[in-house]
Amino acid sequence: MRPVTDLPRRGRAPSMARDQRRAQIIEVAQELFARQGYHHVSMDDIADRAEVSKPVLYRHFPGKLELYLDVVEHRGEALVAAIDEALATNPTEGRAVVRAVVRAYVEFVEKAGDTFSLLFESDVTRDAEVRRRVERASVSAAESVCRGLRELAGMTPEQAELLSTALVGMARVAATARYRSGAVPVDEAVELVTGLAWRGVAGFVADRTADDRTADDRTADDGARVPPSA
């Protein structure tokens, strides 16, 4: 990790409205937390980097944990917005749903840069509230996939929830690995991960289709039988 003092300094912060100042502090803290980790950044570091006095900083945030929670909330909202946008076209075909979620994760990490670690690699998840906020975005994504799986494969809610969580986890891990290596272009990564994930999901869809066809054939056979004469 680079020490905080090695980060590029910002110019003197101009006078701002309260909401603007709060947003500026969150942006600065986000950068510091992402690069250094929660435990290696102090409120002094944040005040110095934001070019504000500590009294001003504490007027907005009573402590470092509260500031960190707001930073995580900010990143989580951005991820949920990306997922909602990806699913806004209401894809109904199973592969399209999987692709939309995978692309949302890959593109979110690409745009977020190092700040994605605040959601996916937080070093403060022993705190229950931090863990809840960190996991909120992934839970939201899993719920979207869960609905699709139940409709496509006729799974129980519990089965669909488990598999959707696995799919979201795959998308998250693949997105972070692709970002760190930089070796695979975004579009190629999306198709690779979608292909892997969909092959698994498609097996459940195929099984359900086969079961439905078998049931239909049995019904047809029963209907075609000539009843015995009295």
- What CATH code is carried by the domain that includes residue 165? 1.10.357.10
pLDDT of residue 215: 47
148 located within any domain: yes
Condensed to tens digits (0 to 9), the pLDDT of residues 171-192 reads 999 999 999 999 999 999 999 9
Cβ atoms of 96 and 144 closer than 8 Å: no
The helix/strand/coil state of 132 is helix
Domain containing residue 132: 68-202
**87-90 contacts, C-beta under 8 A, 24 or more apart:** 87/144
Report the domain count for the chain.
Answer: 1
Residues 119, 137 contacting (CB under 8 angstroms): yes
Grade residue 5 by pLDDT with cuts at 50, 70 and 90: very low
Structure tokens at 2: 């680079």
| pTM, full prediction | 0.76
For 77-132, how does the pLDDT look when each residue is reduced to its tens digit (9 = 90+)? Answer: 888 888 888 877 777 777 888 898 899 999 999 999 999 999 888 888 888 888 88
Instruction: Please report whether residue 82 resides in a domain.
Output: yes
User: In the predicted model, is pLDDT for residue 230 greater than 70?
Assistant: no
pLDDT band at 220 (very low <50, low <70, confident <90, very high): very low
Domain presence at residue 40: no
Flag whether 151 is in a domain.
yes
Task: Confirm whether 214 is domain-assigned.
Answer: no
29 within domain boundaries: no
**Domain-embedded: residue 90:** yes
Q: Which two tokens stand for residue 150?
A: 């139940």
Poorest-pLDDT segment among 13-22, 165-174, 187-196, 204-213: 204-213
DSSP output for 87-98? TTT---SHHHHH
Residue 135 lies in a domain: yes
Tell me, what's the pLDDT at 148?
A: 67
